[in-house]
Structure 1
Amino acid sequence: MKKIGFLSFGHWTPSPHSQTRSASDALLQSIDLAVAAEELGADGAYFRVHHFARQLASPFPLLAAVGAKTGRIEIGTAVIDMRYENPLYMAEDAGAADLIAGGRLQLGISRGSPEQVIDGWRYFGYQPPEGQSDADMARRHTEVFLDVLQGKGFAKPNPRPMFPNPPGLLRVEPHSEGLRDRIWWGAATNATAQWAAKLGMNLQSSTLKIDESGKPFHIQQAEQIRLFRAAWKEAGHAREPRVSVSRSIFALVDDRDRMYFGRDQSEDHIGFLSETERAIFGRSYAAEPDVLIKQLAEDEAIAEADTLLLTVPNQLGVDYNAHVIEAILTTVAPALGWR
C-alpha cells in the first residue's frame, strides 16, 4: 500500500493556451484540485514554493484554505526554501494552518534550489554569517524551526503584560501538537538525507538528485532512501519515518493524454545546478496502462517509498488534472498493489 498524492508547482502565465492565466487562477484552482483529489480518493495535496516566479509562493494562506475546504486529505509542501524563512514566524503560520486542517499538515522543507534571481534570500533580509554558505543558513533556520515546533517555552514574559500569561517562559503560539513529526526534508544528496534522519525529519526525494555515482536515477534515489533509513535507525527515533518520491506519470487512456504526453520520455537527463553540481533528473512515465504498470514495477525508488507524489501539469486546468490523478488511482495503482 502507498499513499498517493499530487504535487503542483502552480505555474501561471497570461498565455491564451494556459488555463491558469493569473496568480488568482493558480491559487483558486489549487484549492479546487485538492477538493477534487480528495473526492477521488487521493491521499495528499502538495504544493511547490518558488519566489520571484509566476508560480505558487507563500504557502500558508493556500494550505489553510485547502485545510478549511477538505476533511481527510493530507496537505503539504514539496518544498519550502528555508533560506527565505524566519523560523519563528514560520512556526506561527504552520501551527495556525495545521490547526485549521485538523492536524493534516505535512511540511516539506529544504535548502532550496536555483531561483529566478541571484541570491534572492538577500532581498528577504537574510544573509549567511561570515564563513557560512546559504545552505548552512538554510539548515540553521531549519534547526531553529524544529526546536520551536516542540512547543517548549523559551521567551521571558513581560512582568506587566497587556494580557495575563501562563506561568513560566512563553512559546510561539499557536502551537499544534504533533506537527514536529510531520516535517519532511527535501534531500538532493545522500549526506543531507542522513542529516535529516538524525534530526528526525521524514524524507522527500524528488525528480532531481545530485549525481553521486553515475547510476540510473531511480537506483541512486533508492540507495539514498536506504541510507536515510539506516541513519534513522542508528539515531534511535521511536517512530517509523515516512519517505516520498515525486514522479511525472501519465496513463494514456484517451486522445487528450496521447496528444499531451504521447511522445517518448523514457530517459533520465543530466544537468548542472551550478558550475560544480552535476544533477540527474528522473525520467517521466507516459504510456498505456499495461505498459506503464510494467515500467513502474521496475522503479526501485518508488518501491522503497511509502508515499508517491504525482507532479501535475496545473496549467491544463482542474478537470484535466483530476482526470490524470483518477487514471493513476484506477488503472495503475491497483495492479501494482498500491491500492
Structure 2
Amino acid sequence: MKKIGFLSFGHWSPTAQSATRSASDVLLQSIELAEAAEQLGVDGAYYRVHHFARQLASPFPLLAAVGARTKRIEIGTGVIDMRYENPFYMAEDSGAADLIAGGRLQLGISRGSPEQVIEGWRYFGYAPGEGESDADMGRRHAEVYLELLKGEGFAQPNPRPMFPNPPGLLRLEPHAAGLRRRIWWGSASDSTAVWAARQGMNLQSSTLKKDESGEPFHVQQARQIRAYRAAWTDAGHDWQPRVSVSRSIFALVDDRDRAFFGQAGGDDQIGVIDAMRAVFGRSYADEPDRLVEQLRADEAIAEADTLLLTVPNQLGVDYNAHVLEAIMTHVAPALGWR
C-alpha cells in the first residue's frame, strides 16, 4: 500500500490559455481540487510555497480553508522555505490550521528553492548570523520551530496578566498535539536527508537531487532514502517516519491527455541550480499498461511510502481531477498501491 497525494505549484497567469488567471482563481481552485481529490480517494493535498511569484505563497490561510472544507484527506506543503519564516508566528499559524483540520496537517519545510529575487528573505527581515549561510539560517529557523512544537513552556508569565495564566512557564497557543511528528524536511542531498533523520523529521524527496554519483535520478534518490532510514535507526527515535517522492505522471487515457502530454515522457535532465549540479527526474506519460511497467522500474518510488503527483494546475480543477482519477483507476491498483 502506498499513500498517493497531489502537489500543486499553484501557478497563475492572466492569459487566455490559463484556467487560473488571478491569485483568487488559484486559491479557490486549490480548495476545490482538494475536495475533488478527497472524493476520488486520494490521500493528500499538498501545495508548493514560492515568494515574489505568481504562485501560491502564504500557506496557512489555504491549509486552514482546505481543512475546513474536507474531512479525511491529508493537507500539506512541499515545501515552506524556512529562510523566510518566523518560527514563533509559524508555530501559532500551523497549530491553528492543524486544529481546524482535525490533526491532518503534514508540513513539508526546507531551506527552500531558487528565488525570484536576490536574497528575498532579507525583505522579510531575516539575515544569516555571523559565519552562517542562508541555508544554515533556514535550518536554524527549523530547529527553533521543532522545539516550539513540543508544546513545552518557555516564557516567563506576567505577574499581573490581563487573563489568568496556567501555572509555570507559558507556551505558544494554540498547541496542536502530534504535529511535531508530522513535519517533513525537503532534501536535495544525501547529507541533508541524514540531518533530517537526526532531527526526527519525515523526508520529502522531490523531482530533483544533487548529482552525487552520475547514476540515474531514481537510483540516487533510492540511495538517499536508504541513507535517511539508516540514520533514523542510528538516532534511536521511538517512532517510524514517512518518506515521500514527487513525480510528474500522466496516464494517457483520452485525446486530451495525448494532446497535452503525449510528448512529455523522456529521460532525466542535468542542470545547475543555485551553483549545484542537479539531476532532474523524468516525467512519465504513456498508455496505462506501458506506464505501469515504467513505474515498476523506479527504485525510489518503490522505497517511498508516499507518492506526490505534480499537477498542471493551470488546466483547471476538472482536468486535474481527471488526471488523478486516471492514476487511481488505471495505475495504482496494477502496481499494488491500492
Does TM, scored on the shorter chain, surpass 0.5? yes
Partner of 2:175: 175
Partner of 1:225: 225
After TM superposition, give the deviation of residue 264 of structure 1 in Å: 4.6
Distance in 1 (alpha carbons) for counterparts of 2:90 and 2:302: 33
* Residues 106-133 of structure 1: per-residue CA shift (max 9 Å, x gap): 0000000111000000000000012110
Distance in 2 (alpha carbons) for counterparts of 1:95 and 1:295: 40
SS of 1:68's partner is helix
Partner of 1:299: 298
The one-letter amino acid of 1:212's match is E
Partner of 1:196: 196
Distance in 2 (alpha carbons) for counterparts of 1:264 and 1:4: 21
Distance in 2 (alpha carbons) for counterparts of 1:78 and 1:132: 24
Is the CA contact 2:37–2:324 (under 8 Å) kept in the aligned structure 1? yes
After TM superposition, give the deviation of residue 230 of structure 1 in Å: 0.2
Distance in 2 (alpha carbons) for counterparts of 1:273 and 1:172: 37
What does 1:59-208 align with in structure 2 at a 5 Å threshold? 59-208=59-208
SS of 1:237's partner is coil
The one-letter amino acid of 2:336's match is G
Partner of 2:309: 310
SS of 1:177's partner is coil
- Residue 57 (1) aligns with residue 81 (2): no
Distance in 1 (alpha carbons) for counterparts of 2:265 and 2:25: 29
* Residues 46-99 of structure 1: per-residue CA shift (max 9 Å, x gap): 000000000000000000000000000000000000000000100000000000
TM-score by length of 1: 0.99
Q: How many residues align?
A: 338
Partner of 1:290: 289
- Residue 329 (1) aligns with residue 335 (2): no
After TM superposition, give the deviation of residue 265 of structure 1 in Å: 2.2
Partner of 1:238: 238
Distance in 1 (alpha carbons) for counterparts of 2:41 and 2:199: 32
Distance in 1 (alpha carbons) for counterparts of 2:262 and 2:38: 27
Distance in 2 (alpha carbons) for counterparts of 1:90 and 1:22: 26
- Unmatched tracts of structure 1, length 5 or more: none
Distance in 1 (alpha carbons) for counterparts of 2:271 and 2:173: 43
SS of 2:155's partner is coil
Is the CA contact 2:265–2:284 (under 8 Å) kept in the aligned structure 1? yes
The one-letter amino acid of 2:176's match is S
Distance in 2 (alpha carbons) for counterparts of 1:27 and 1:238: 38
Partner of 2:24: 24
Partner of 2:337: 338
After TM superposition, give the deviation of residue 274 of structure 1 in Å: 2.7
SS of 1:4's partner is strand
Is the CA contact 2:77–2:107 (under 8 Å) kept in the aligned structure 1? yes
Partner of 1:10: 10
Partner of 1:39: 39
Distance in 1 (alpha carbons) for counterparts of 2:22 and 2:65: 18
SS of 1:291's partner is helix
Q: CA RMSD in A?
A: 0.5
The one-letter amino acid of 1:55's match is Q
The one-letter amino acid of 1:21's match is R
Distance in 2 (alpha carbons) for counterparts of 1:163 and 1:270: 58
SS of 1:214's partner is coil
The one-letter amino acid of 1:333's match is A
- Unmatched tracts of structure 2, length 5 or more: none
* Residues 144-179 of structure 1: per-residue CA shift (max 9 Å, x gap): 000000000000000001111000000000000000
SS of 2:334's partner is helix
Distance in 2 (alpha carbons) for counterparts of 1:113 and 1:103: 27
After TM superposition, give the deviation of residue 273 of structure 1 in Å: 1.0
Is the CA contact 2:265–2:286 (under 8 Å) kept in the aligned structure 1? no
